[in-house]
Amino acid sequence: MLKSETQLHSFDPQLNLYWQERATKQGKVLWAKGSRNYRIAEAQKWQCPLCGEHLFNGDKIETHHIIKMTDGGLDTIDNLIHLHKTCHQHEHTGSINARS
Ligand SMILES: [Zn+2]
Ligand SMILES: [Zn+2]
């Protein structure tokens, strides 16, 4: 069922919205409502701020510290952001092409 949805979602904005809502539901199943991960995801509208895609687009998700803990960053919602695993790697290597 996921297969046909991903094939269709790029053609029709309404289907795209439907698909995004389905993806958001996955997150709501994974993370308990009101939990830290859930609240971080809500704050960023369930999207990856780096690539703009939905967090649950099939990629693995990692949680990034905006201010590194070694620089005094805290483990708080304000300082945490969910990124795709690949986007997270780009964030740490500087730019998308830095290590290619
Ligand atoms: Zn991303
Ligand atoms: Zn990070």
Asked if 50 contacts 83 with a C-beta cutoff of 8 angstroms, the reply is yes
Cα 46 to ligand 1 centroid, rounded to whole Å: 11
As residues whose CB is below 5 A from the ion ligand 2, the structure lists 64
What's the pTM? 0.78
Q: What are 2-17's pLDDT values in tens digits?
A: 555 555 445 688 888 8
Distance 62 CA to ligand 1 centre (A): 10
What percent helix, strand, coil does the chain show, rounded to 5?
50, 10, 40
HSE (CB half, 13 Å, CA atoms) of 7?
A: 4
Say if 99 falls within a structural domain. no
Which domain does 67 fall in, by range?
Answer: 2-93
CA 39 to chain centre: 12
Q: Could you report the per-residue pLDDT of 18-60, keeping only the tens digit for each?
A: 999 999 999 999 999 999 999 999 999 999 999 999 999 999 9
Is residue 98 situated within a structural domain? Answer: no
Provide the number of structural domains found in the chain. Answer: 1
